[in-house]
């Protein structure tokens, strides 16, 4: 076995020995001579990297030259002084030993620092959950990165493998608001930040997001509000006074940039934490959860200028229209066909948050890619009857129409849009998103002005003639019942 002598600091008058075997052992050992008695002690701890250059507590096997019996010797060695004197080896071996120790010091220091950080973050998380339980604050995990780990996510949380955690809290008018517990959170070492939102249900401003920012862990608590009897929603993050840079680890991928609307979900316990149940459906709903509210202020201004029709016939149509939308939603949801409010029904939602009573119809739309042959039989079994069938399936990205007397084809051009959720007549339905370009394409810049006389093939600014169906195809493409 090669043996090297390391000179200790001046105030540490103890000889130290470093050993290196054929496989380049990566530890140091020291020999402490107290009145010719060798003291055997256990390694205590490895310091973090900033201290690793200063001192290192370790212990490894050491074979004495005079005694063939192997035993462990422990003590203190200062790495900055290693590799000065050489007894039975070459300078190359000394340099190799010094390099090996330095590299190992870095790796062990980094590893220890990482473990310390994980321990701190998990301990903070444990203390937070104990605190909220004692305060009767029910928090549940909504973090997609954790929930997508399946049954392994509690272990990931215990191991501290995350820097930020997103939790949910169902707002209740009877419960104490979370911002009242700010002092409690700060006693755990968190810095507390919050944002607020306007809740249409209570018509008040309420806390919407809470950020508990610790040194190693940021906890984002999302407030969930009841929207209808079947849905809950959360607000986007709107900072009035954002936290200083590098104070929080802000994950803006989920529950952050847009409000979200969800079907009611149950909460069940997994390990020591509560999660949405079923978690798989909750995860599937997150990318498709964007919520767009109708503008209540604009609707109020519209009705001040154009008072609503109070005739009994108008009220009857509003009730019937809601029933039609609710039934259509039921059947389309069962078939898994996404639909959205279209044309005049969409205009009524966007402009006045209600049905346009003089339109006398309900407009819904689906993408051709989502069409299923069982759609028509399903609606007919539900009490609807088929009146018109125009056109035939094809690779189209525009809305089409046909004049049943002339065979003239029309197409309506729209800008590209996605679908977002909204609440209309207490129903969770989709609308084009963003909605205003869609409305302006169909009704022009003056969409705020009521138009009681509307010709479907002439009035829309986005309508274009698109040829004429050959008469030999009329039996297929023009069907009137």
pLDDT tens by residue, 384-414: 988 766 555 554 446 777 877 788 888 888 8
3-state secondary structure of 263: strand
Task: Please say if the pLDDT value at position 124 is more than 50.
Answer: yes
Q: Averaged over 252-261, what is the pLDDT?
A: 94
pLDDT attached to residue 45: 31
**Which has more confidence, 147 or 38?**
147
Strands (E) across 23-136 are located at 33-34, 37-38, 56-63, 70-77, 85-86
Specify the pairing of strand 427-433 against strand 418-424: antiparallel
Task: Please say if the pLDDT value at position 464 is more than 70.
Answer: yes
- Kindly tell me the sign of the dihedral angle through the C-alpha atoms of 383, 384, 386, 392: negative
The token pair that represents 264 in the structure block: 């009611």
The token pair that represents 204 in the structure block: 């008040």
pLDDT attached to residue 393: 52
H or E segment and range at residue 225: strand 218-228
Percent of the chain with pLDDT over 90: 44
pLDDT attached to residue 389: 65
Determine the angle formed by the axes of helices 296-305 and 343-352, rounding to 10 degrees: 90
Q: What is the CA radius of gyration of the chain?
A: 35
Task: Give pTM, 2 decimals.
Answer: 0.70
**Which has more confidence, 68 or 183?**
183
The token pair that represents 242 in the structure block: 């954002």
**Best CA proximity match to 172, nearest among 225, 233, 227, 232:** 225
Greatest Cα pair distance in the chain: 116
pLDDT in tens, 201-255: 777 888 999 999 988 889 999 999 999 999 999 999 999 888 887 888 888 889 9
Task: Please say if the pLDDT value at position 348 is more than 50.
Answer: yes
Report H helices in 148-295.
153-158, 182-187, 279-285
Going by pLDDT thresholds of 50, 70 and 90, the confidence category of residue 291 is very high
User: If you average pLDDT over every residue of the chain, what do you get?
Assistant: 76
pLDDT attached to residue 52: 36
Distances (CA, A) of 67 to 63, 98, 350, 473: 7, 26, 91, 105
Which residues are within 8 A (CB) of 459 and not within 5 positions of it... i.e. 6 or more apart? 451
Question: Do the beta carbons of residue 412 and residue 400 sit within 8 Å?
Answer: yes
Burial 277-293 (b: 16+ CB within 10 A, else e): eebeebeebbeebbbbb
Least confident of 154-158, 269-273, 404-408: 154-158
Q: Averaged over 92-103, what is the pLDDT?
A: 43
Task: Please say if the pLDDT value at position 5 is more than 80.
Answer: no
């Amino acid at each position: 076995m090669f043996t090297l002598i390391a000179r200790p600091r001046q105030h540490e008058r103890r000889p130290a020995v470093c050993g290196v075997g054929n496989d380049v052992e990566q530890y140091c050992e020291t020999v402490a001579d107290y009145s010719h008695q060798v003291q055997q002690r256990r390694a205590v701890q490895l310091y973090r990297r900033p201290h690793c250059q200063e001192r290192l507590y370790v212990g490894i096997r050491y074979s004495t030259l005079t005694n063939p019996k192997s035993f462990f010797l422990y003590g203190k060695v200062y790495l900055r002084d290693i590799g000065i004197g050489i007894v039975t080896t070459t300078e190359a071996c000394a340099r190799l030993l010094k390099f090996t120790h330095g590299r190992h010091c870095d790796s062990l220091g980094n590893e220890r620092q990482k473990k310390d950080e994980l321990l701190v973050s998990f301990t903070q998380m444990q203390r937070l959950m104990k605190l909220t339980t004692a305060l009767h604050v029910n928090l549940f995990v909504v973090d997609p990165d954790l929930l997508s780990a399946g049954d392994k996510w509690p272990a990931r949380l215990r191991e501290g493998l995350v820097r930020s955690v997103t939790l949910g809290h169902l707002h209740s008018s009877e419960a104490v608001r979370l911002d009242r517990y700010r002092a409690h959170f700060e006693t755990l070492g968190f810095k507390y930040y919050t944002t607020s939102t306007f809740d249409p249900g209570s018509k008040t401003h309420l806390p919407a997001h809470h950020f508990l920012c610790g040194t190693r862990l940021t906890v984002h608590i999302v407030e969930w509000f009841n929207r209808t009897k079947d849905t809950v929603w959360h607000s986007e993050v709107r900072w009035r006074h954002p936290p200083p840079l590098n104070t929080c680890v802000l994950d803006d991928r989920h529950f952050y940039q847009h409000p979200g609307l969800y079907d009611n979900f149950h909460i069940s316990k997994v390990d020591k934490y509560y999660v949405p149940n079923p978690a798989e459906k909750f995860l599937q709903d997150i990318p498709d959860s964007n919520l767009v509210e109708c503008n209540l202020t604009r609707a109020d201004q519209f009705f001040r200028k154009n008072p609503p029709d109070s005739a009994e016939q108008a009220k009857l149509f509003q009730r019937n229209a809601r029933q039609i939308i609710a039934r259509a939603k039921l059947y389309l949801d069962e078939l898994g066909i996404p639909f959205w409010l279209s044309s005049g029904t969409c205009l009524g939602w966007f402009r006045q948050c209600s049905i346009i009573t003089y339109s006398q119809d309900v407009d819904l739309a689906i993408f051709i890619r989502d069409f299923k042959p069982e759609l028509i039989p399903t609606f007919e079994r539900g009490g609807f009857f088929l009146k018109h069938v125009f056109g035939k399936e094809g690779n189209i990205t525009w809305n089409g129409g046909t004049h049943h007397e002339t065979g003239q084809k029309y197409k309506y051009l729209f800008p590209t849009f996605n679908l977002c959720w909204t609440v209309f007549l207490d129903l969770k339905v989709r609308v084009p998103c963003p909605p205003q370009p869609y409305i302006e394409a169909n009704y022009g810049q003056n969409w705020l002005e009521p138009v009681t006389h509307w010709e479907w093939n002439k009035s829309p600014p986005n309508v274009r003639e698109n040829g004429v169906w050959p008469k030999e195809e009329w039996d297929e493409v023009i069907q009137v019942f």
